[in-house]
């Protein structure tokens, strides 16, 4: 299945690095958003998006709030969500998992880690 990513981060630098990493590991379809609210709009406007990569700390609507909003919509109940963030405390990771992110990466990351997590998510059967 071809993946189309929604990459959400308020940092232009980070969005660029995530996109470069995705290109490097063989993905070239993506949409960008600068915060959670913009991401929700882009998600609703584009039915082709089938994978979300989101930061946590963002203005307006945070990544965690975005995950909760996405999961609250039955249409996106099973869409894969990968959180890529600077937050590496145990309670943060647990909170994200409870909000039903599929996997979690702590910045700084390598393209290899990104590939590994995407592959893990895709290989895991939907509950």
The residues of the shown chain that bind other proteins, judged by CB under 8 A, are: 9-14, 16-17, 20-21, 24, 56-59, 62, 85-90, 93-94, 97, 103-111, 113, 124, 127
Q: Which residues contact 56 (CB under 8 A, 6 or more apart)?
A: 62, 63, 64, 83, 85, 86, 87, 92, 96
Looking at beta carbons only, is 45 or 89 nearer to other proteins?
A: 89
Looking at beta carbons only, is 2 or 90 nearer to other proteins?
A: 90
Q: Which residues contact 8 (CB under 8 A, 6 or more apart)?
A: 32, 33, 34, 35, 36, 38, 39, 52, 53, 54, 55, 58, 63, 66
Q: How far is the CB of 16 from other proteins (least distance, A)?
A: 6
Q: How far is the CB of 38 from other proteins (least distance, A)?
A: 14
Looking at beta carbons only, is 54 or 103 nearer to other proteins?
A: 103
């Amino acid at each position: 299945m071809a993946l189309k990513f929604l990459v959400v981060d308020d940092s232009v630098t980070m969005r660029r690095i995530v996109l470069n990493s995705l290109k490097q590991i063989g993905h070239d379809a993506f949409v960008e958003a600068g915060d959670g609210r913009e991401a929700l709009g882009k998600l609703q406007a584009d039915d082709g998006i089938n994978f979300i990569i989101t930061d946590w700390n963002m203005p307006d609507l945070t990544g965690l709030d975005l995950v909760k909003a996405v999961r609250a919509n039955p249409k996106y109940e099973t869409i894969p969500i990968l959180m890529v963030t600077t937050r590496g405390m145990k309670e943060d990771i647990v909170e994200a998992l409870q909000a039903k992110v599929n996997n979690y990466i702590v910045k700084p990351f390598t393209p290899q880690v990104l590939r590994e997590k995407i592959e893990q998510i895709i290989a895991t059967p939907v509950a």
